[in-house]
Amino acid sequence: MPETELPDIYKGPLEGFFQDLADAEPLERARTLSDFIRDIPELQKFAKRYRQLAVLEAQSRGIPNLDIARALDVQVQRVSGIARGHSGGKDGRPKADPTEAKLVAAKNKIAKYQTLADEASPNAPKARQNYLDQVAKWTKRLEELEAASEASAG
């Protein structure tokens, strides 16, 4: 095992890899580690996309961005960026797909207005109906965006 302590988050999935590597010849170890280091950007890309999907799922379940931000130890605005697929850096990395960002925004609007409708006072039927109209409007917009996204993809 290397002298450097492996961070706890990687001990389960990677500890065996490094233990097996410790028995390899030095040149084989160096080549394998070079390949591993070279593949880290792909791992980061996968992890960021997987995190984005987790954030989108949390949002679709109605978990407020503030709670998500606290769990991720980021600013609330960063949660929105993660949901849109923004990497957070301006170093030449690819920008988020604008269509996907619009889909996320439409889903968030639907969730927002549905929550407002559900929480509307029974004494305010017009307000509740207004929220439900917004849900219908954004649901239609979401369907249009999904259809456009499918058409452009296939």
49 with 107, same domain: the answer is no
pLDDT > 80? residue 10: no
Q: Express each pLDDT in 82-91 by its tens digit.
A: 999 886 655 4
Is 4 within a domain? Answer: no
Span 68-82, pLDDT tens digits:
999 999 999 999 999
Average pLDDT over residues 43-71: 91
Kindly state whether residues 51 and 83 are assigned to the same domain: yes
Q: Over 80: is that where the pLDDT of 62 sits?
A: yes
Number of domains in the chain: 2
What pLDDT shows up at residue 133? 92
Assess if residue 8 is contained within a domain.
no
Supply 36's token pair: 């591993």
Token readout for 100 is 């996907």
Domain containing 149 equals 97-154
Q: How far apart are CA 154 and CA 152, in angstroms?
A: 6
Q: Are residues 91 and 127 in the same domain?
A: no
Higher pLDDT, 147 or 13: 147
Asked whether residue 122 is assigned to any structural domain, the reply reads yes
Contact partners, residue 68, CB within 8 Å, separation at least 6: 55, 58, 59, 79
* Nearest in space to 73 (alpha carbons), one of 51, 41, 95: 51
For the chain, give the percent of residues with pLDDT over 70: 88
- 7 touches 18 (CB < 8 A): no
Does residue 21 sit in the same domain as residue 82? yes
CA distance 85 to 96: 5
DSSP percent split of the chain into helix, strand, coil, nearest 5: 75, 0, 25
- Answer whether 40's CB lies under 8 Å from 14's CB: no
Residue 35 confidence class, pLDDT cut points 50, 70, 90: confident
Average pLDDT, the chain: 83
Residue percentage of the chain with pLDDT more than 90: 27
Q: What per-residue confidence (pLDDT) applies to 59?
A: 93
Q: What's the whole-number mean pLDDT along residues 29-57?
A: 87
Are the beta carbons of 53 and 82 closer than 8 angstroms? no
Residue 9's pLDDT band, with cuts at 50, 70 and 90, is confident
- Mean pLDDT in residue range 83-101: 65
pLDDT given at position 95: 53
Same domain, 78 and 124: no
